[in-house]
Each structure stands twice: as C-alpha cells, then as structure tokens.
Structure 1
Amino acid sequence: MLQEKRKDLDAEKLKKLLQRLVSELSGLYPDLYYQPTSEVAALILRYVAGEAKLNADEHALLKPLSQRDVEVLLSLH
C-alpha cells in the first residue's frame, strides 16, 4: 500500500512538472499550442537535456521516460 501511495505521489509530481515545462516552453515558443504532441514531447526532452533548470528529484522523474511516454502523458491532460 505504501508503494502505491508513492507511485501516486510520483505521478502527481510528474504531471505538475510536465505542466511547468510546457508553460516555460510556451513562453519561448508562442506557437507551441499548435504543434503536434510528438513535437512538444521531443522539445520537452531536448529542453530537459539542455537548459531546463531541474533539481535532482525532477531529473529522476523524467529520466526513465521515452518520447512516447511523454506524448502519452501530455495527451492525458
């Protein structure tokens, strides 16, 4: 049961982190809203690998995700 709560907490943190990253990228790319989800996911991963200001926990949340994983998570919002 404790592991289940941990997974739920991580999922919530990941959701908020992705929302924050999309918001940051929207400021840099005003037409981001009109891009396909696959483009947005690729941009997020490039941003994370480069200039995004993330702490160790945030990096740990994103590290195991593939572009397809990010696409799916974005499409759920």
Structure 2
Amino acid sequence: MSTGLTLEEAKIRYRDYLNAEEAVLLGQEYELATGEKVKKANLEKIQAGLKLWEERCNKLSSNIGGGISVISVALK
C-alpha cells in the first residue's frame, strides 16, 4: 500500500514527534507541524506517533531500490 509519502517527508514528521517528546519531557508545550499543540498530558500520543513514523521510515527505506526483493532459492 503506497501512501505517496517520501522517505524524507517521513523523516521530517518523525523528527517533529521527536522534538515534541523532548519538549514535553522538559515541561514545555510544543506545536507539531500539523498545528496541534501538545504537552506532557499528550506524551502517550506523542510516543505512539514516534513509533508510527519510525515504522514508516523503516518501510520506506527498505523500499528504496525499486522495491525489488531478493530471495534465495535452493535447487534439488
């Protein structure tokens, strides 16, 4: 399933959530790129966002190279 998202865009969103986590752990409020303001009460949501964007970055980076998978085949 393609989201139309590039690896660079996913990395930017991941960094945004990483910055949000750091800020709220320091007791600050943070505004995500989406315009949503988060604070310490939103820490669980921020960490879920981090996990989501990390997974998307990993998936997109594994698809670089044309999406071709190489598998081993043993002949008998």
Give the alignment's TM-score, normalised by structure 2.
Answer: 0.37
Asked which structure has the greater RCO (Cα within 8 Å, sep 6+), the reply is 1
